Amino acid sequence: MNIVVDDLSGPQIAGFLNEHVQQMRSITPLESKHALDLDGLRAPEVTFWSVMDGEVVVGCGAIKKLDATHAELKSMRTAPARKRTGIASLLLKHIITETRRLGFTRLSLETGSAEFFLPARKLYEKFGFHPCEPFADYQPDPNSVYMTRLL
């Protein structure tokens, strides 16, 4: 397994992310959907990683720079057939290390409050994230859980 910075130019990652956005749209009310599409992830303030198993994308995640010391975790996803195999933990550990290396001192995230998102929330707690108030441009939302951690 290899984690690489991805420029999002390949068709495989485009399809992988499209599945992610479509799944989030099917689960989360439109007004509470915060998943970035491909164009949003190509913004200069975003660093994106793909987890590769050979030539196959099996996971992804990103950070978005909010300010000089604060970044947001975005677009964490594991291929459905590869869930519960350690990919998300491997990737999250890598992202936390890289975010710290880039000079950020805080990493925050928004995830869903529905039962579907419980495994993600448990993973984030395992890595030291704790609930927080909405950050950046987020507003209180019953469909969202906001979490943060110091690096």
CATH classification of the domain holding 59: 3.40.630.30
**Confidence at residue 128, expressed as pLDDT on a 0 to 100 scale:** 99
Count the domains in the chain. 1
Q: What is the residue whose two structure tokens read 């604060």?
A: 70
What is the span of the domain harbouring residue 86?
2-107
Spans of the chain, pLDDT less than 70? none
**Confidence at residue 79, expressed as pLDDT on a 0 to 100 scale:** 96
**Confidence at residue 102, expressed as pLDDT on a 0 to 100 scale:** 98
In a domain? residue 74: yes
Q: What is the residue whose two structure tokens read 């998943």?
A: 35
- In angstroms and rounded to an integer, the radius of gyration of the C-alpha atoms of the chain is 14
In a domain? residue 19: yes
Q: What is the mean pLDDT of the chain?
A: 95
150 has which bridge partners? 106
90, 123 in Cβ contact below 8 A?
Answer: no
In a domain? residue 67: yes
- Full-model pTM: 0.94
